Structure 1
C-alpha cells in the first residue's frame, strides 16, 4: 500500500488520509518488534548533526522593511543557540522535521520521509544547559512516518503512518504508538501500536487519564485509555487536521467542518463553529489557546482567533507575501502560545511574533534563515522546524531576579536600536533588552540587570564600565567580519551571572574583567585577543577555556 502524503509550502506536511469507510479502530494492540526501532546514543555520531553556523543573537525585524524594530521587539531578546540537521535513515535518505513535544528540559522531535515510502525518526534533545543543547539520542523507525507526538505520564504518544503491507496484523496504515520512556525520559524500544481507520494519524493529544488521536478525510476522533492502551470511544468526522486539549475540553480542527469542541469525559459534542475551509486539501495545521480563545492556523487565510464559548471569530491575521517569497509558499502552518507571546510559522514568510491582549498585535518577524513549517514554544525556548533544514532552537532571554542593590528601581530600556553613552554619563536599566550595539565612552557607566542581547558589537572605552547582573548574549557565531566585545585600556567589564560571546573578545592593555560573587560563567566561541597587563578577577567558570 502506497502512502498518500505530499509536501506543501516548502516542505510543510500535508495528508490525504482516507483508507477505507471504517470508522472504528482495530482495537487489537499490536505488540512491538523490539528490533524495529534502532536507537543511537553514540555522542560522537550525534554531535555531527549539531550546526552552530547561524547561532548567536538574532533580532525581530519589520516584515515589510526587513529592518530591526525599536518598539516591543526591544523587550524580547532572542538567541539562536543551535540547529540540529535532520537525520538520515538506514538507506541514506534525509528525513524532515514536522513536530515537537516538550517535557521539562527535553524536546522530542518527530521526523517523516517525503514521498511514497515510509521512514521516520524521533530525536531527544536536552536543553538543560541553556547555551549548549545536546542531542542525546535518536531513534530510527523503519517503514513508519512520525507525524506528531505528545508527552504524558512518562510516555510518548506518537501519531504516524506505517507500511501495512509489511505488517499483516494491521488493517490500515494509520497508527497510534504508546512508547514507554525510562525514568530519566529516554527513548526505548518498549511500545505498543494501535491502528485506526485512515492512511495516517494526523495528530495526538493527552491529559492525565486518556490520550486522543485524529485521522483525516473520512477519519475519526479516538479516545484511548492510558492504562489499557485501548480505544474506549470514537467520533467520526471528516478531514481532521489537529487536536488539542483545553481544561476539560477536547478541541479538533477539520479542514471542512472547522472547530468542534467535545467534553473530554464522554466525547459529547458541545460546540461547533468556524466557516473556514482549507484551500489545500488535508494540509496539516495546529491549534493553541489563550484563555477562552482558540488560535487556528488557517493556511493561506492566515491565523484565525475565535471565542470558544460563542464561536465568534475575534480576529483574522492575513498574510502578505514579501517581495522575495513566492505566494504559494506563504501559508500559516502552525501556532504556539507561550506566556505573553504567540509564535506563528508562516512558511516562506518566516516566523512571526505577536503580543497577546484583547487583540494580537504584531511584534515582528524573527530574523532566521529558511522557512518556518512548524513551531512549538515552551519554557524559555522556541523550536522551529523547517523540513529537511532540521530543527532550530531559539532561546528567549528572560530576566532573572536581580541579586544586587544597584538594580533597585532601574527602568526598562527604551532608547532604540543602539546605545551610546557619552563621556561621564551614567545609565541603568532592568528587564529584558534586545539591542543592536552598545558603546560606553570614557568615564561613563552602564548598568544592566536582567537579560540583554546585543546583536553586534559591544565596546567599553577607556575608564568606562559596564556592570552586568543577570545574563548577556552578544554577537554572531564565526562571521566573516566577526562581531567583537572590546574592553579598552583601563575599562572594566563587571559580571555577575552568565555571559555568552558568540564572536570575538578583545582585551586591550590594562583592561579588567571582574566576576562578582559565585556561580558566574563566561562562554566565548570566537577568538580572544589579549594585550598586556590584563586583569581577570573573581570566581567564574570559563566553559570553553578561552581566558587562560
Structure 2
C-alpha cells in the first residue's frame, strides 16, 4: 500500500546547506535524492496570470430547487441564500495567480495542502497511485497582487500529505517507500524544520509513526500532534525531543487540530473525537462513515468544530456538548448533472477566516459562508474553476485577505478577497430610499437630477443622461452601464457592475467598485476613482480602454489589457495612487504624476 513522507533535506539542499547530522546514514532522505529548483527563470514558468480576474460567485439563482433555498436544519440556526438586494456581499474574489504543479520525469504532481506564515506560503504535493513522488513549494506572498514562487523541491520516493507552521518551525506529514529510504520502520512519518526569518537553517528532525501514511500534523504550546490513516494512530510528540509520548489507535484518521486545551481529530469511520492535551478522552461526536482514504480537514469557529464530511457536506458541531449545530449539504454547482463526475462532488476541506467560512467541494468548487451571528450562517455563494482547467478543489485555506485552493493536478489557485464593505461611505447629503422598479432599464433622463440612499440590485441596464447620486450599495446585472455625454454618476459606497461600463460623461466613484466586463472611458468621458476599482472577470479577455481621462485617487486593478489611445490621459492624484495591469499595455496617451505597474 502506498503512503507518504517528507524530509528536511529538501530545504537544506535548496539553501545550499548540509545536514547537521554527522552520519548521512541517519538521514531518511539524502540531499542527492532531492531535486531543487531555485532558478527564477525556471520557476517563473510555473506561475501564471493568464486567468487572473474577478471570480464569479453564484449566490443562489438557478433552476435547482436547492439553489437559493432557505435551509433551517434545526430550530436554533438558519442557513439562508444571500439576497443581493440586502447588500450582504461582504467581499468578492479575484484570482491573482495560478501555480502549476511540478513535473518529474513526465509525472505531474498534485497539490495537497497549504500553510501560511508571515509573507510565505508553503505548498505540499503528492502523486496519485502507487508511485511515491512529492514536492514542496515556497511562495512569497508579500505582494498580494503578484505572488512569487521562490524555491521548489521534488522528492522521488516521497509523498507529502500536510504542512503547518508552529512559530519558527515548519511541520510536515507524509509517507515514504521504506524500501528506498534508510532507517524507517514504518512508511508514515513527520518532520520539523527550523525556520530562520521564514527560511531554514541547518537543523531538522524527523520521527516515524505507526501507520502507512501520516495524514496531518498540528501543535499547541507544548506538543506536536500527528495522525496516520489506515492502521494508524493519534500521536502526541514532545516538542523538544520529538519522541512519541502517547499514541491512541483510531481507524482511518484524516485530520487533527488543537483549540485551547483541546485536541480534536476526525476519523472517516469513527467521527470526531475530542481529547485533553494529555490525550485523555473528553467527548465523541458520531458521524456516518466517509469514503475511505480521502482528504478531509477540520477547523473551528468560536465553540464550533467544522468538519468536512464528503458527500454529506459540512458538519458543524458544538465542541463542548457534541450537539449538531448544522449539517449543510453541498450547494448546487456549475455543471450540476452534466459534465461533472458526481463522485468528485464531495466536501474535502474547510477553513475559517474571521466570520467567513470557505469550503472545498471537489468538482463543485468552493462554497462561501458568513456567520452573521453565532446562530445565523449566510450562504454567500459558490465559485468554480472549471472554466479554467476542470480541476477539483481538494483543499482550501484562507488567511488575511488571501484564499488558497489546492486543486490537485490543477496546482494551486491564489485568490484575493476584494472587500465590498468600505469602512466609510460618506455621502454629500441625506437622500431618500429608491422605491422604483429594478427589473427593467433604469434611466436618468437629460436634465434630471436624482439622489438616493439605498441598497439595490438592478436586473437590467442603467443609463445616465442627467445626474444620479447614489449612496450605499448598488449592483447592475445588465449588459451595459452607460454614463452618457451629458450624464454624471456620483457613487458613494459599493458599486458592482456585472458586465460592461461605458463612460462618456462624468463618473465619480468613492468607495469600492468592481466591473466584470470591459471598461471604456470615451473621448469626453472622465472617471475619477477615490477608493478601489477592480475590472475584468477571470478568463474573459476584458479590456480597459481610455480615450478620455482616468483620475486615480486610490487603486485601480485591470485584470485584462489596457489600451490608452492618443487622446487618453491617466492621472495619478497622489503618490499612493496605483494602476496595476495584468494583461498587455498599449499606451499612446499620457500618464501624469505616476507610473503603471504591469504584473
Tell me which residue corresponds to 1:537: 592
Match of 1:186 in 2: 199
In the other structure, the counterpart of 2:574 is: 517
Q: 1:225/1:429 Cα in 2 relative to 1: closer, same or farther (>3 Å)?
A: farther
CA contact (8 A) 1:98 1:110 kept: yes
Q: Does 1:309 align with 2:372?
A: no
1:354 aligns with 2:369: yes
1:341 Cα offset (Å): 1.8
Equivalent in 393, 415, 430 of residue 475 of structure 2: 415
- Is 67-76 or 454-463 further displaced after alignment? 67-76
Check if 1:262 corresponds to 2:262.
Answer: no
- What's the CA shift string for 1:204-257, capped at 9, x where partnerless? 112233221011233211112222222222222222111111122111011122
Partner of 1:170: 184
1:39 aligns with 2:51: no
CA RMSD, 1 decimal? 2.9
Deviation at 1:544, TM superposition (A): 2.9
Q: Is the 8 A contact 1:284 1:333 kept in 2?
A: yes
Secondary structure, in 3 states, of the residue corresponding to 1:272?
strand
Whether 1:118 aligns to 2:132 is yes
8 Å contact kept, 1:274–1:313: no
Counterpart contact for 1:334–1:373, Cα < 8 Å = yes
SS at match of 1:122: strand
Contact kept in structure 2, 1:31 and 1:191, CA below 8 Å: no
Partner SS, residue 54 of structure 1: coil
CA contact (8 A) 1:384 1:392 kept: yes
Q: How many angstroms does 1:190 deviate by?
A: 4.2
Instruction: Please state whether the residue corresponding to 1:108 is helix, strand or coil.
Output: strand
Cα distance in 2 for residues equivalent to 1:224 and 1:331: 32
- The change in CA–CA distance for 1:63 and 1:204 in structure 2 (over 3 A counts) is farther
TM-score (ref. length: structure 1): 0.85
Shift of 1:127: 1.3
Q: 2:545 maps to which residue?
A: 486
Mapped partners of 2:127, 2:114: distance in 1: 16
Q: Which residue of 1 aligns with 2:246?
A: 233
1:283/1:403 CA distance change after superposition, 3 Å: closer
Q: Distance in 2 between matches of 1:238 and 1:486?
A: 59
How far apart in 2 are the matches of 1:187 and 1:411? 51
Q: Does the 8 A contact of 1:219 with 1:238 survive in 2?
A: yes
Question: Cα offset for 1:340?
Answer: 2.7
Distance 2:97 2:88 in 1: 21
Alpha-carbon distance, 1:298 to partner? 0.5
Where does 1:222-371 land on structure 2 (aligned, <5 Å)? 222-264=235-277, 266-278=278-290, 280-319=291-330, 320=332, 322-324=336-338, 325-357=340-372, 358-369=375-386, 370-371=391-392
User: Displacement, 1:65?
Assistant: 3.1
State the shift of 1:128 in Å: 1.1
**Given that residues 404 and 469 in structure 1 are in contact (C-alpha distance below 8 angstroms), is that contact kept between their aligned partners in structure 2?**
no
For 1:428, the equivalent position in structure 2 comes to 491
Farther-moved stretch of structure 1 (47-56 vs 62-71): 62-71
Structure 2: gaps of 5 or more residues: 5-25, 68-81, 431-469
* Cα contact 2:90–2:421 (8 A) shared by 1: no
Q: Say yes or no: does 1:56 pair with 2:73.
A: no
Q: Identify the residue that residue 99 of structure 1 maps to in structure 2.
A: 113
Deviation at 1:460, TM superposition (A): 2.9
Deviation at 1:199, TM superposition (A): 0.3
Gaps of 5+ in 1: 6-28
3-state SS, counterpart of residue 115 of structure 1: coil
User: How far did residue 201 of structure 1 move?
Assistant: 0.5
Cα displacement (A) at 1:402: 7.4
Q: How far did 1:88 drift?
A: 1.6
Against the structure 1 CA distance between its residues 309 and 403, is the aligned structure 2 distance closer, same or farther, given a 3 Å change threshold?
Answer: closer
Change (3 A) 1:314 1:33: same
Q: Report Cα offsets for 1:179-211 as digits up to 9, x if no partner.
A: 222x23125674222111100011111223322
Shift of 1:404: 11
The number of residue pairs the alignment matches comes to: 508
Match of 1:506 among 560, 563, 568: 563
**Residue in 2 that maps onto 1:199:** 212
Counterpart check, 1:474 vs 2:535? yes
Q: Which 10-residue stretch deviates more, 147-156 or 59-68? A: 59-68
SS of corresponding position for 1:328: helix
Write the deviation string for residues 353-387 of structure 1: whole angstroms up to 9, x where unpaired.
11223243221111423321111111111111111
**Closer, same or farther: CA 537–403 of 1 in aligned 2, 3 Å:** farther
**What's the CA shift string for 1:256-288, capped at 9, x where partnerless?**
221111122x2221111133321x123221111
Determine if contact 1:41/1:136 at 8 Å carries over to the other structure.
Answer: yes
Map 1:81-92 to 2 at 5 A: 81-89=96-104, 91-92=105-106
Question: Which deviations, in whole Å up to 9, do the C-alpha atoms of 1:410-460 show, x marking residues without a partner?
Answer: 8442333354445433322335x54323535444322132x4332211233
TM-score, normalization: structure 2? Answer: 0.78
Deviation at 1:93, TM superposition (A): 1.8
Kindly tell me: are residues 285 and 98 of structure 1, through their superposed partners in 2, closer, same or farther at Cα, counting changes over 3 Å?
A: same
SS of 2:474's equivalent in the other structure is coil
Residue 452 in 1 paired to residue 513 in 2? yes
Q: Does residue 376 in structure 1 map to residue 387 in structure 2?
A: no
Verify: 1:78 aligned to 2:93, yes or no. Answer: yes
Instruction: Pick 1 or 2: higher relative contact order, CA cutoff 8 A, min separation 6.
Output: 1
Q: Which residue of 2 aligns with 1:145?
A: 159
**Contact 2:159–2:175 under 8 Å retained in 1:** yes
Measured in 1, the distance between the counterparts of 2:95 and 2:245 equals 43
Give distance in 2, aligned partners of 1:115 and 1:58. Answer: 32
Report the CA distance between 1:307 and its aligned residue.
Answer: 1.1
